[in-house]
Amino acid sequence: MCLTSTISEEPLDASAPALSVRDVTKTFQTPEGGQISALDSVSLDIADGSFMVLLGPSGCGKTTLLRCIAGLESPDSGRIDLRGQRIDNMPVWRRRVNTVFQSYALFPHMTVAQNIAFGLQMDKVPGDIIKRKVGESLDMVHLSGLGSRKPSQLSGGQQQRVALARALAKEPEVLLLDEPLSALDLKLRRGMQSELKRLQRETSITFVLVTHDQDEAMAMGDQVAVFNDGRIVQVGEPREVYLRPCSRFVADFIGEANVLTGALDTYGLVIESVGFVPRDRLMPDTQAALGQVHVAVRPENVSLQLDPVGSAKIIDVSYVGGDMRVEAVAAASGTAVNAAVSIVSRVPSQGVQPPRIGDRVSVSFAEGSLTVVAD
Amino acid sequence: MKAPWSATARQRRQAGQGSWWSGLPGVVYLIALVFLPLVIIFVYSFLSRAKLGVGVKWQFSLTPYTELLFSESLSGGRSFDPTYLQIIANSFWYAIITSVVCLVLSIPIALWLATRAPERRTALVFAVTIPFWTSLLIRTYSFIIILNDNGPINGLLKGIGIIDEPIAMLYTPFATVVGLVYTFLPFMILPIYASAERFDFRLAEAAYDLGAAKWTVLRRIVLPSIRPGIIAGMVLVFIPALGSYLAPELLGGGKTSMIANVIAAQFGASRNWPFGAALSVLLLVITLLVLVIFAVVAKRASRAAGRGGWEALI
């Protein structure tokens, strides 16, 4: 769903969303007296039992939205509903949402078990039930037997699990995760990603995770909401967001994309420095006004064929895992150097004669691979 | 591995090790200004009273210590006299009240300071130290003006018609406590602030998030985290308060004697140096005992709280 033109006022599906955010705006004062708009009229529906990822560069407002839902910030305007009940004017400790903090925020003077029990004690849960639930929570995150340790005696990954167990023990309606994996090393992060997916499936609690890592967002989210400058620019399934980015920003931010400029007519597209591209190379249901457009195309949908009179010249070849990333510069004869267009292609490196830097190539695109994007 | 015999002394020295003489000024200072006076006090406390009362007579005697508990009548008979025990108890009582009042006032002040913007914090902490710029004597005298019958407090209360007759505040135990609290408050605020400044307020957010209301967050998260500062503050206030002289002398009007006032009197008007010395030794022993008790409590608390040890505080 592209949000540049329309924002649906009603939930998309019939069942009420677990969490509904409507026109939430939040402005911060800078120390110099200026104003920063952290959230600019943000609306979002999060389906019950789904895994929603809020993705965006740092400072885009995604964490502010999470803190507004948790109650740690109060929005200037707008409303937030949890299962149909308004919560934005409720104190933090009454909301049935819990947060896994980026810093974990484990209480250093309490043991792991006391940390997990804390939230349950606040709910006045009887002692024997607390004991059982703490044990279950520790089992769930594979930390059985570490209940009597202090947080400082645990590794980063283990602390992360305690923070998760502490929040999940309260069985919240919605679990908020603020960049929970950013402090872990790459290998541990991959493990925790599938772990979080598993926990989300098993508990069927609605998860809302904030990240600036697009790979993480793609790997984990049922839905991804892409933020930029305090606004949500696109919401959708990861595949949809990847294949049909709404804007140049989304295309660039998620994965690698070639964003090209061209003139659209009824037969096809004339791309600057590259040449004519037939209409069938565009996404089938493209509905864009004729004239100048920007199109995005993923590197794996670009092919470069050796061609002595081709319009492009290879300037870089590198190996990325099993793929080969080939960068070429296309410049129509007679145009100035600054009109040159850089095009990145990605091809499997096996069984292919590797291109050499300086080879001339012609550029073509896979059928239905070009998306018209907003600038 | 063979020891590097060929290396010069300079090369063998490790980081943090200096020559023995580099510590000499400190050793001289400690001997001359701390150890020697203590030895003199200790020795004097086992001697006899001089004829005219100034100085001591070099004759061994345990009288100064028996005088603590017994009074000798003119006829030579001895009877139990709780006067000095009462004064010691008094001193403890004032020190406890002072510490507790300072603690109750300091926790909110320190937390408030620690939650200000960093650039304003420095200025505010600096402001806490402003009283140190003037002599304690002058500041204590100023409380005579503030608290007396015609002072600004009585003036204000009379002015707005709450009272007709001035409330007698000066030369009462109340005035002593006010003076003591005023004197020692910064010594409680600063260590608690130092602890509170290091406190990660994200922990408070996490506690709210887990369903804790304000008082619970304070009691179960904030207070345990600033416990080292509280213990340091209690030591820094309680021990000097126990031996304080000026506030009870000037504001209590001598009516609310604490042990330091009695000691001063022995070296002055009462002209009984050995007894004054014995009282000093007693105060020293009590202070050491209190320190040991604090250390044990702190160690237990820190073990319970899993934080840095007591040693880190001093």
pLDDT digits (tens, 9 = 90+) for A46-84: 999 999 999 999 888 899 999 999 999 999 999 999 998
pLDDT for A96 equals 93
Domain annotation covers residue A8: no
**pLDDT band for position A341 (cuts 50, 70, 90):** confident
Please write the tens of the pLDDT for every residue from A21-41: 999 999 988 877 788 889 999
Domain annotation covers residue A320: yes
**pLDDT band for position A207 (cuts 50, 70, 90):** very high
If you search the block for the tokens 């073509």, which residue do you land on? Answer: A364
The neighbour count for residue A23, using CB atoms within 10 Å, is: 15
CA distance from start to end of chain B: 38
| Angle, helices A156-168/A127-140, rounded to nearest 10 degrees | 130
Query: What's the rounded Cα separation, in Å, for the pair B301 and B308?
Result: 10
Q: Is the domain of A175 the same as that of A261?
A: no
Taking only Cα atoms into account, the Rg of chain A, rounded to an integer number of angstroms, comes to: 25
Domain annotation covers residue B56: no
**pLDDT band for position A6 (cuts 50, 70, 90):** very low
Q: Return the sign of the alpha-carbon dihedral for residues A279, A285, A288, A289.
A: positive
pLDDT at B83 over 50: yes
3-state secondary structure of B258: coil
Domain annotation covers residue A111: yes
Query: What's the rounded Cα separation, in Å, for the pair A20 and A11?
Result: 8
Query: What's the rounded Cα separation, in Å, for the pair A152 and A35?
Result: 39
pLDDT at B72 over 70: yes
- In chain B, positions 100-119, which contact chain A (CB-CB < 8 Å)? 117
Give A79's strand partners.
Answer: A22
Residues 6+ apart with CB under 8 A from B38: B284
Contact A109 B213 (CB under 8 A): no
Contact A105 B221 (CB under 8 A): no
If you search the block for the tokens 């484990």, which residue do you land on? Answer: A106
pLDDT for A3 equals 57
Backbone angles phi, psi at A210, to 5 degrees: -100, 135
* CA closest to B216 among chain A residues: A122
Q: Are A347 and A303 in contact, with CB atoms under 8 Å apart?
A: yes
How many structural domains are present in chain B? 1
Residues in chain B: 314
A-chain CB neighbours of B202 within 8 Å are: 101, 103, 105
A-chain CB neighbours of B216 within 8 Å are: 122
User: What residue numbers bound the domain in which A363 lies?
Assistant: 256-373
pLDDT at B7 over 60: no
Query: What's the rounded Cα separation, in Å, for the pair A325 and A330?
Result: 16
Please write the tens of the pLDDT for every residue from A81-132: 999 899 999 999 999 999 999 999 999 989 999 999 999 999 999 999 999 9
**Lowest mean per-residue pLDDT among A362-366, B22-26, B252-256:** B252-256
Q: Are A114 and A148 in contact, with CB atoms under 8 Å apart?
A: no
Q: Is the domain of A294 the same as that of A218?
A: no
Q: Which of B210, B216, B220 sits opposite A98 (nearest CB)?
A: B210
If you search the block for the tokens 């620019």, which residue do you land on? Answer: A233
Q: Is the domain of A196 the same as that of A261?
A: no
Q: Is the domain of A222 the same as that of A360?
A: no
Q: Is the domain of A327 the same as that of A200?
A: no
Query: What's the rounded Cα separation, in Å, for the pair B132 and B136?
Result: 8
Residue, of B254 and A43, whose pLDDT is higher: A43
**DSSP run (H or E) holding B28:** helix B24-30
pLDDT for B300 equals 78
Residue, of B13 and A238, whose pLDDT is higher: A238
Of the candidates A72, A8, A5, A75, which has an alpha carbon nearest to the alpha carbon of residue A39?
Answer: A75
Q: Is the domain of A232 the same as that of A285?
A: no
**Mean pLDDT across A322-336:** 74
Domain annotation covers residue B293: yes
Query: What's the rounded Cα separation, in Å, for the pair B139 and B155?
Result: 20
Q: Which positions in chain A have a beta carbon within 8 angstroms of at least one beta carbon in chain B? A: 31, 70-72, 91-94, 98-99, 101, 103, 105-111, 118-119, 122-123, 150, 152, 166-167, 170
Residue, of A332 and B123, whose pLDDT is higher: B123
Q: What is the DSSP letter of A93?
A: G
CATH, residue A214: 3.40.50.300
3-state secondary structure of A269: strand
Distances (CA, A) of A26 to A41, A64, A143, B87: 8, 8, 39, 62
**Mean pLDDT across B239-257:** 85
The neighbour count for residue A341, using CB atoms within 10 Å, is: 22
Domain annotation covers residue A13: no
Look at residues A245, A264, A291 and tell me which one is the last residue of a structural domain: A245
Distances (CA, A) of B252 to A331, A371, B58, B248, B262: 95, 87, 36, 4, 13
Query: What's the rounded Cα separation, in Å, for the pair A155 and A112?
Result: 12
Residues 6+ apart with CB under 8 A from B172: B252, B253, B255, B256
* pTM exceeds 0.90 for this model: no
Q: Is the domain of A216 the same as that of A150?
A: yes
Q: Are B301 and B223 in contact, with CB atoms under 8 Å apart?
A: no
Single-letter amino acid, residue A238? P
**pLDDT band for position B277 (cuts 50, 70, 90):** very high
Mutate which: A90, A98, A103, A109, vs B, most B CBs within 10 A: A109
* CA closest to B223 among chain A residues: A109
Query: What's the rounded Cα separation, in Å, for the pair B242 and B183?
Result: 13
Q: Is the domain of A221 the same as that of A271?
A: no
pLDDT for B21 equals 81
3-state secondary structure of A262: strand
CA distance from start to end of chain A: 17
pLDDT for B302 equals 65
Domain annotation covers residue A337: yes
**Mean pLDDT across B180-202:** 94
Residues 6+ apart with CB under 8 A from A257: A245, A251, A296, A297, A298, A299
Contact B221 A107 (CB under 8 A): yes
Q: Are A370 and A294 in contact, with CB atoms under 8 Å apart?
A: no
* Percentage helix, strand, coil for chain B under 3-state DSSP, each rounded to 5: 70, 5, 25
Query: What's the rounded Cα separation, in Å, for the pair A125 and B297?
Result: 32
CATH, residue B287: 1.10.3720.10
pLDDT for A15 equals 61
Q: Are A91 and B212 in contact, with CB atoms under 8 Å apart?
A: no
- Can you tell me the ipTM of this complex? 0.82
Residue, of B29 and B52, whose pLDDT is higher: B29
pLDDT for B16 equals 62
pLDDT for A14 equals 47
The neighbour count for residue B215, using CB atoms within 10 Å, is: 8
Contact A118 B306 (CB under 8 A): no
Q: Is the domain of A179 the same as that of A60?
A: yes
Instruction: Indicate the burial class of A198 (C-beta count within 10 angstroms; 0-12, 13-18, 19 or more).
Output: exposed
* CA closest to B202 among chain A residues: A105
Residue, of B287 and B75, whose pLDDT is higher: B287
3-state secondary structure of A42: strand
Q: Output the CA torsion B212→B216→B220→B226 (10° steps).
A: 110
Domain annotation covers residue A251: no
The neighbour count for residue A213, using CB atoms within 10 Å, is: 16
Look at residues A245, A278, A312 and tell me which one is the last residue of a structural domain: A245
Of the candidates B112, B127, B252, B78, which has an alpha carbon nearest to the alpha carbon of residue B178?
Answer: B252
A-chain CB neighbours of B225 within 8 Å are: 108-109
**Mean pLDDT across A272-287:** 83
**Mean pLDDT across B77-88:** 87
Domain annotation covers residue A159: yes
* CA closest to B214 among chain A residues: A93
Query: What's the rounded Cα separation, in Å, for the pair A73 and A63?
Result: 10
Look at residues A216, A245, A274 and tell me which one is the last residue of a structural domain: A245
Does the CB of B207 have a partner CB in chain A at under 8 Å? Answer: yes
Domain annotation covers residue B17: no
Q: Is the domain of A102 the same as that of A54?
A: yes
Query: What's the rounded Cα separation, in Å, for the pair A183 and A160?
Result: 9
If you search the block for the tokens 């009870």, which residue do you land on? Answer: B248
- Average pLDDT over chain B reads 86
How many structural domains are present in chain A? 2
Share of residues in chain A with pLDDT > 70 (%) = 93
Q: Is the domain of A321 the same as that of A293?
A: yes
Q: Is the domain of A277 the same as that of A170?
A: no
Give A374's strand partners.
Answer: A247
3-state secondary structure of A40: strand
Torsion-angle region of A345 (φ positive above 0: left; ψ -120 to 50: alpha; else: beta): beta
Query: What's the rounded Cα separation, in Å, for the pair A44 and B131?
Result: 56
Minimal C-alpha gap between A149 and chain B (Å): 10
Q: Are A364 and A303 in contact, with CB atoms under 8 Å apart?
A: yes
User: What residue numbers bound the domain in which B260 lies?
Assistant: 92-313
pLDDT for A30 equals 80
Domain annotation covers residue B80: no
Q: Are B88 and B282 in contact, with CB atoms under 8 Å apart?
A: yes
